[in-house]
Structure 1
């Protein structure tokens, strides 16, 4: 099977994403210039964290390529922009307060070429920020964009630790936030308690969506709830399934419930 070389690039402000290495000679620890995963018209400086191969048929045309290795000048520019972003953030926050706008400023981002500044914010409803944009354009003498984002994008930008104890999926590897439904949680036998099924953004956990296929495949190897089975000469009724551990709970005619490994039933 034909394979291609890919690298995982860790960006301070974007998280870790996979890029096509193409023909570049890259090693772990190298700094490189890659497409901003959130804006195809911008680039960022990242560091190679891992190298591996994937089958070409599993790659997609949307997988971006590493543009080039970063020069010392690139890294210096990137650090200077981080300082400018902090200054721009403070100025924008003060202007929001002066205009008494009902919005929460989340992040400020300079394009790598310095031509544009994007301010990300959240709000409960639409906000008329035209006067604010004029003020900011006059101060910075650059193109200004104010972009309203939702709770999930806010968590993705700020980062944090999920209920599993790991770094948030959306800031570590999950580029596209798919639609998540309550049905997905039910399929995975998750207790439907808000604190158990919600992320720090207050929305349903993203892992329900990308782990769904695994649970669906695992369930195909297990009997359905309510099915009648025979185990060690005794007839049971299936009461509950645990695809993650590969076990089921069954009840006999006397009401006794035991836990059985699915593989033991198949033997």
Structure 2
């Protein structure tokens, strides 16, 4: 087994492995590490762990060392470099605007030693930035490394809040980007409106991939939509799939839909991969009061109520002046509209 220290670097979304040597590293401990770019400041993602030699050999590069546990001077230097990075970004944006209109600066990173700075920018096409590098070097007096990144990398680096109200997955979870296709949205029955399935980066949301395999697996085992299933009440049509709970909705003609768990279906006939019949016991269970499954049963749960609960009193509802005025105008408008419909409409009350 090999001892490794999982370390998080500021501008790298992945947790990297380093050789801790004889150092005793704990979670959230600041450390100084040596990377291919130079000396960098990082935070331990966890304590030192042991991994197999096969896992180490599978890495893209050999383990690099943890130089030392960060001292107070290292922490102050890292904070100073962070301030320098923040101050350099507006200058980078101004120079980039003069140099090339299609270059969109994203961030600036000064390494711990302060002798090298990495300038990140996003652009759709390849840009020749050699002249800009010379200007930046003359302005900041450090070695300049220009990195062109894509829009997904930009979103991960800047961060933000997604449609779900959570921090962007690419920022929160890190890791490698996986391909996402429109087929994944179709398989999950989602709206194909680009505004609803696209992330802040303008590309398809990463989360479309998370449950794709689950949907694909369930739909390969369940009866297809609009297929006919034999039940004790007669032939029924498959009208809906509840993939997370693995429930199939069946509708007998003239009756309400009945929800049957896929696990309660009779086994698939020989030579077939999908079941096409529901037994007497499973059908009786689904059509009885006990058939309320999971969330539906919770709708009627009153365990959160106490004996002291009271209904809201309408007389104590607070209204603002603007709200009352708006309500009065709306009421007059509705009354006027009702009178108009009463005089000109062809329908009358019985």
Give the alignment's TM-score, normalised by structure 2: 0.61
> 1 CA distance for matches of 2:256 and 2:183?
30
Between Structure 1 and Structure 2, whose CA radius of gyration is higher? 2
> 1 CA distance for matches of 2:85 and 2:116?
11
1:201 to partner: Cα distance: 1.0
Q: Which runs of 5+ in 2 are unaligned?
A: 267-281, 283-350
* Residue equivalent to 2:28: 29
> 1 CA distance for matches of 2:115 and 2:109?
11
> 2 CA distance for matches of 1:104 and 1:213?
36
Of 121-130 and 17-26, more deviation after overlay is shown by 17-26
* Residue equivalent to 2:108: 108
Q: Which runs of 5+ in 1 are unaligned?
A: none
Equivalent pair of 2:5/2:20 in contact (CA under 8 Å): no
Equivalent pair of 1:45/1:70 in contact (CA under 8 Å): no
Higher strand fraction (1 or 2): 1
* Residue equivalent to 2:146: 146
Higher helix fraction (1 or 2): 2
* Residue equivalent to 1:203: 203
Structure 1 residues 123 and 255 mapped into 2: Cα distance closer, same or farther (>3 Å)?
farther
> 1 CA distance for matches of 2:34 and 2:167?
22
What CA deviation, in whole Å up to 9, does each residue of 1:178-208 have, x standing for no partner?
2111011112222222232111111101122
Q: Does 1:62 align with 2:64?
A: no
Equivalent pair of 2:155/2:200 in contact (CA under 8 Å): yes
Aligned Cα root-mean-square deviation (Å)? 3.6
Equivalent pair of 1:6/1:51 in contact (CA under 8 Å): no
What CA deviation, in whole Å up to 9, does each residue of 1:150-171 have, x standing for no partner?
2211101100122222221111
Q: Does 1:179 align with 2:179?
A: yes
Which one scores higher on RCO, CA 8 angstroms, separation ≥ 6?
1
Q: Does 1:45 align with 2:44?
A: no
Q: Does 1:260 align with 2:284?
A: no
Query: How many residue pairs align between the two structures?
Result: 262
1:15 to partner: Cα distance: 4.6
Structure 1 residues 87 and 211 mapped into 2: Cα distance closer, same or farther (>3 Å)?
same
